[in-house]
Amino acid sequence: MRKTILASMLLVLCFASAFAQDSGQSLFKRAGQEFTKANFDKAFDLYFDARKEFLKEGDAKGAKDALVRKLQILRILYDYPYSKEKAEAYLAKTMKQFPVKERRSWLENGKADFMIIEGENYYFANLEKNLACRDPKIMKRMKTARNNETIFFRKYNDLIFGKDSEAKLGKPYSNPVIFRVKGSARITKDRLPKDGILKVWVPLPVRTDAQDNIRVISVSPEKYLKEQPKTEGDMGNLYMEIPAEEIEKDLKIEVDFEFRHFQQGFAIDPVNIGEYDKESELYKKYTRSYKNTAINDKIREQAKAIVRDESNPYLCAKKIYDYVVNYIDYSLMPHLTLDVLGKPESLYVHKHKYGDCGAQSVYFVSMCRALGIPARTTGGWQLCPGKESPHFWAEFYLPDYGWVPVDTSIAQTARNSQNVPEEKCRILEDYFFGNQDPYRFVIQKDVDVMPSPEPDGPLFLNMAVQFPTVLCDTSEDDLAAILVDSWKFKFDSRLEKNK
C-alpha cells in the first residue's frame, strides 16, 4: 500500500512538473533563451504559445510582454529579410549591371550588411542603397542612384541659392514658408482586433524658435480624441483611444494642419558666445549621456582628438561637423533592430563609421555633449517640394544665440551628385553649419522623447515618431507597421509675404 501511495505521489509530481514546463512563464523564459541566440523562428513560436498560456492563466502583464517580444522579432526581420539566396536574387534585380561574381562577393566578404539569424546570414533590406552610398565606385556605376542624388541636390540648392530665394545669412529667422499638411491612413477591417482599445499617436508640428503659427484644422475620427492636440514641449502630437468593437468598417485616420517655418541664418562671433550656466536644467539635460545619445570613453577620446587644443564651443562644434561630413559615410540604418536590442545609435556609428541622417546627427550630438557643449538631435521631415521625406538633423546651443542648426547628411548630397564643382560642395557644406532652409517640419526636439500621454509600452520605433503609431494589447497583428506603411502625407507650401 505504501509503495502504491508513493508511486501515485511521484506520478502527480511528474504531471505537476510537466504542467510547470508548459506554463506561460516557462515558455516565456525558453523564448528569451532562443531570442538571445538569434533563433527568432523558435523564439517567435514560443512567445506565441506563452501569450496563449498567460491569457489562460489570467496574467495580463505576461500576455502583454509576450506580445511585445513577438512583435519585436517581426521588426528585426523587417530590417533583415533576405537569406543569402534571396539577397542574390534581390541584387540580380536591383543591380543587374554588375557581374554575378561581383555581386556575390559583396555578400561573402562582409561588404553587405547582415545579421546572423538561425545560424545563417540574413541581409539588410536596403542593401543595394548602402552598397552604393558607402562605395563611390559602385555609386558611379549606378546611374539611377546618382541621378536621384543629383536631382535632390539641385532642387535643394535652388531652394537656398536660386534666383527666387534669399539666403539671408546673418539673419536668424527670415523667409518664412507656410505649410498646409494633410495626412491619412487606413487599416482594413480584417486586420483589426475584435475588441480592446487602439491607442493612437499622430505626429504634429511642435513650436520652436523657427517654427510657429501651428493650427490643427481637423482630425478624424475626432470623437476619439482624449486630450487637446499638443504642439508645445519636446514633441507635437495628438492622441486617440479607439474601441475596436466600435469600428464597423475599415479604420481611417485623417489629420489636417498648417504651420509656419523660418529659414535660419546665424552670423556668429566665436569670441562673444556667452557663458554656459552649468547648473541650469538645459545644460544638464543636453550634455548628458542618454539612450541613443550614449557617450562612452571611446566617443570622448574621438571628440578630443578632433578638436585637439580648441576649447571654444562654436569652433569645437565646427570641427566635429567637418569630421562627420567628411569621414562618416551616409548609410541607411537598422533602426528597428538597434531599438529592439537596446544598442545606442551613437555607439553603432562610432564603431562602423557610417549612418543615415538621424544616426549621423546623434553621433555629432554625442561628441558635442562629450565636450560639455549642449546639443540635441531634432527632426521630423524635410520638405523639399517633390522630394519630401522623413529627416533628422542636429542643433547645438550657444548662450547668446540659442539653438544653432547643423545638417551633416544634406551637406553630403553635393559630393554624391554628378558634376558638382568642389567650390559648390564647400559652399553647401559651409551653409549647413549654422544655417538652415525653411523647408522643415519639426515634430520632436530630440530623439528618445516620448509623445503625450507617455505610452505604456514600446513604440514601433522609440527614438523617433515621424509617422503615426499605435499600441493595442488585443491585436496579434503588427498594427504599428500597418499604420506606418499606409500613412500618406500631402504637403502644400507658400511663401509668406512681407517677411
Please state the rounded mean pLDDT for residues 311-324.
Answer: 98
At residue 168, the pLDDT reads 54
Helices 357-370, 345-352: axis angle to 10 degrees equals 100
Residues 70-108 as b/e (b if ≥16 CB within 10 A, e otherwise) read bbbbebbbbbbebebeebbebbeebbeebeeeebeebbe
pLDDT computed for residue 203 by the predictor: 98
Phi/psi of residue 350, nearest 5 degrees: -60, -40
Residue 151 in grid coordinates: 536631382
Torsions phi, psi of 237, nearest 5? -165, 160
- Count Cβ atoms within 10 A of the Cβ of residue 394 and give its class: 0-12 exposed, 13-18 middle, 19 or more buried: buried
Q: What is the pLDDT of residues 256-312, one digit of tens each?
A: 999 999 999 999 999 999 999 999 999 999 999 999 999 999 999 999 999 999 999
Interatomic CA distance for residues 399 and 388, integer angstroms: 32
Cα distances from 144 to residues 112, 128, 345, in angstroms, run 19, 12, 29
List where CATH 1.25.40 sits in the chain.
Answer: 23-79
Cα–chain center distance at 48:
27
Does residue 424 have a pLDDT over 90?
Answer: no
Q: What is the Cα–Cα distance from 54 to 237, expressed in whole angstroms?
A: 33
- Angle subtended at Cα 274 by Cα 299 and Cα 303, rounded to the nearest 5 degrees: 10
- DSSP for 349-402, please give it: HHHHSEE-HHHHHHHHHHHHHHTT--EEEEEEEE--TT--EEEEEEEEEETTTE
| CB neighbours of residue 58 within 10 Å | 8
Cell output for 193: 482586433
Tally of CB atoms within 10 A around 368: 28
Residue 37 in this model has a pLDDT that exceeds 80: yes
DSSP 497: T
Dihedral angle computed from the Cα positions of residues 410, 416, 419 and 424, in that order, rounded to the nearest 10 degrees: 30
Q: Could you tell me where in the chain the CATH 3.10.620.30 domains are found?
A: 145-171+267-444
- Tens of pLDDT, residue by residue over 397-417, are 999 999 999 999 999 998 888
CA distance 399 to 276: 6
Give Cα 14 distance to the centre of its chain: 49
With contact defined as beta carbons under 8 Å apart, do 494 and 260 qualify? no
> pLDDT at position 150, please?
81
Give the confidence band of 9 by pLDDT, cuts at 50, 70, 90: very low
- Kindly report the three-state secondary structure assignment for every residue of 403-429: EEEECHHHHCCCCCCCCCCHHHHHHHH
pLDDT at 20 over 60: no
Helix axes 127-134, 84-94, angle to 10 degrees: 70
Q: pTM (2 decimals)?
A: 0.93
**The pLDDT of residue 221:** 98
Which CATH number applies to 23-79: 1.25.40, 1.10.10, 3.90.1200, 1.10.287?
A: 1.25.40
Q: Where are the alpha helices (DSSP H) in 95-196?
A: 100-108, 127-134, 136-141, 143-161
In three-state secondary structure terms, 215 is: strand
The whole-angstrom separation of Cα 145 and Cα 301 is: 36
Which of these CATH numbers, 3.40.50.300, 3.10.620.30, 1.10.1530.10, 1.20.58.100, describes 145-171+267-444?
3.10.620.30
Please report the pLDDT score of residue 12 as a whole number.
Answer: 37
Query: Partners of 330 in the beta sheet?
Result: 355
**How many angstroms separate the CA atoms of 30 and 39, rounded?**
11
**Under a CB-based contact definition with an 8 Å cutoff, are residues 436 and 395 in contact?**
no
Cβ atoms 464, 358 nearer than 8 A = yes
pLDDT surpassing 90 at residue 442: yes
Give yes or no for residue 47 having a pLDDT over 80. Answer: yes
Kindly report, residue by residue over 196-232, the tens digit of the pLDDT: 999 999 999 999 999 999 999 999 999 999 999 999 9
Average pLDDT for the chain: 92
Model confidence pLDDT, tens digit, residues 113-151: 999 999 999 999 999 999 999 998 898 888 777 777 788
Q: Are 479 and 201 in contact (CB under 8 A)?
A: no
Question: Does position 17 have pLDDT exceeding 70, yes or no?
Answer: no
Q: What is the DSSP string of 308-350?
A: TT---HHHHHHHHHHHHHHHSEE----HHHHHHHT--HHHHHH
Helices (H), 142-207: 143-161
Sorted by sequence, the CB contacts under 8 Å of residue 282 that are 6+ apart come out as 374, 397
Q: Is the pLDDT of residue 18 over 80?
A: no
Instruction: At 246, list the grid cell.
Output: 466600435
Q: What is the pLDDT of residue 2?
A: 35
